[in-house]
């Protein structure tokens, strides 16, 4: 019986706008299929319905880029290690963020908005998920927006759990004339003032800021760790500073710490 995956590979669909790319994807998908993980040229050509000469050109190009390997002894092709790395990376990014994001919905029952951030460059964090309660006031940040590590509660949370060398590298990038950027009158602008907050953040497992990054906004943030104990995500909430005294912030902080611990446990099989 013909493999179901091969039927999918051979199945006619609407004409591709880039036929060569379509053929390349067919070949790569075939080599990822059980029974075709090591396959000769003729076998690949027959299974994908791509003529031999075209198939050979594509395979040679992929081989040049190390996306496939060719054994001169067996005359067989197989997937190269760069694709394995790409696959693993895609799994990490999609799976653990998706798992973590699922926890945000319940947290919004507190009436506050919640976000997840991850490190995208040496000195920057990026929003990767956001969940808001059904209120008229909306959070202006969007997934994909980024900001410096050290900025606000989420930045301080990440900074607090970096090792000494990594933290110094971040400061080397974000500091100018020995000062951090001043976003508001309440911003932390010196390394000394920033470092004074680190012991408390680590002891309590949560960071907070009040109008340090945006006027009128208070924030709390908790760390989420990978299986090696390194911070990989930050869980944050934003609350109008004017409402802080009307909200049970201690309850929210405890809920966040519990959620962060649960997310850490849930994603440790993935990262």
Query: In this predicted model, what pLDDT tens digit does every residue of 150-180 receive, in sequence order?
Result: 999 999 999 999 999 999 999 999 999 999 9
As a whole number of angstroms, the distance between CA 69 and CA 48 comes to: 18
User: CB under 8 Å to 267, separation ≥6 — which residues?
Assistant: 95, 96, 99, 100, 224, 226, 232
Q: Would the pTM count as exceeding 0.95?
A: no
What are the residue boundaries of the structural domains of the chain, listed by start? 4-79, 90-267
27 touches 59 (CB < 8 A):
yes
- Of 223, 225, 93, the closest CA to residue 159 belongs to 223
CA distances to 118, 143, 226, 261 from 269, rounded to whole Å, are 18, 25, 9, 14
Query: In this predicted model, what pLDDT tens digit does every residue of 50-99 receive, in sequence order?
Result: 999 999 999 999 999 999 999 999 999 999 988 877 776 766 666 899 89
Which three-class secondary structure state does DSSP give residue 37? coil
Superfamily the domain 90-267 falls into: GAF domain (3.30.450.40)
pLDDT grade for 2, boundaries at 50, 70 and 90: very low
Average pLDDT over residues 120-149: 82
Four-residue CA torsion sign, 146, 148, 150, 151: negative
28 touches 83 (CB < 8 A):
yes
* pLDDT tops 90 at residue 264: yes
Instruction: Tell me which CATH code domain 4-79 carries.
Output: 1.10.10.10
Query: In this predicted model, what pLDDT tens digit does every residue of 213-253 receive, in sequence order?
Result: 999 999 999 999 999 999 999 999 998 898 888 888 999 99
270 touches 251 (CB < 8 A):
no
As a whole number of angstroms, the distance between CA 174 and CA 120 comes to: 15
As a whole number of angstroms, the distance between CA 21 and CA 254 comes to: 51
As a whole number of angstroms, the distance between CA 61 and CA 255 comes to: 53
As a whole number of angstroms, the distance between CA 162 and CA 159 comes to: 5
Which three-class secondary structure state does DSSP give residue 90? helix
């Amino acid at each position: 019986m013909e493999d179901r995956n091969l039927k999918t590979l051979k199945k006619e669909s609407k004409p591709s706008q880039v036929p060569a790319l379509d053929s390349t994807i067919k070949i790569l998908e075939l080599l990822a299929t059980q029974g075709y993980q090591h396959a000769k040229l003729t076998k690949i050509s027959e299974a994908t319905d791509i003529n031999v000469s075209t198939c050979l050109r594509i395979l040679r190009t992929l081989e040049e880029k190390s996306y496939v390997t060719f054994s001169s002894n067996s005359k067989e092709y197989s997937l190269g290690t760069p694709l394995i790395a790409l696959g693993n990376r895609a799994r990490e990014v999609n799976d653990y963020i998706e798992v973590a994001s699922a926890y945000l919905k319940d947290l919004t029952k507190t009436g506050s908005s919640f976000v997840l951030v991850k490190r995208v460059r040496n000195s920057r964090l990026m929003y990767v998920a956001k969940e808001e309660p059904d209120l008229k006031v909306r959070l202006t940040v969007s997934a994909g927006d980024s900001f410096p590590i050290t900025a606000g509660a989420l930045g301080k949370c990440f900074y607090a759990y970096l090792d000494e060398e990594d933290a110094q590298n971040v400061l080397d990038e974000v500091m100018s004339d020995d000062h951090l950027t001043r976003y508001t009158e309440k911003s932390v602008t010196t390394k000394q003032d920033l470092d004074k907050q680190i012991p408390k953040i680590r002891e309590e497992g949560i960071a907070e800021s009040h109008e340090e990054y945006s006027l009128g906004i208070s924030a709390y943030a908790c760390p989420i760790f990978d299986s090696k104990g390194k911070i990989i995500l930050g869980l944050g909430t934003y609350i109008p500073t004017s409402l802080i005294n009307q909200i049970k912030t201690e309850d929210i902080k405890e809920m966040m710490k519990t959620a962060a611990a649960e997310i850490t446990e849930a994603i440790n099989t993935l990262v």
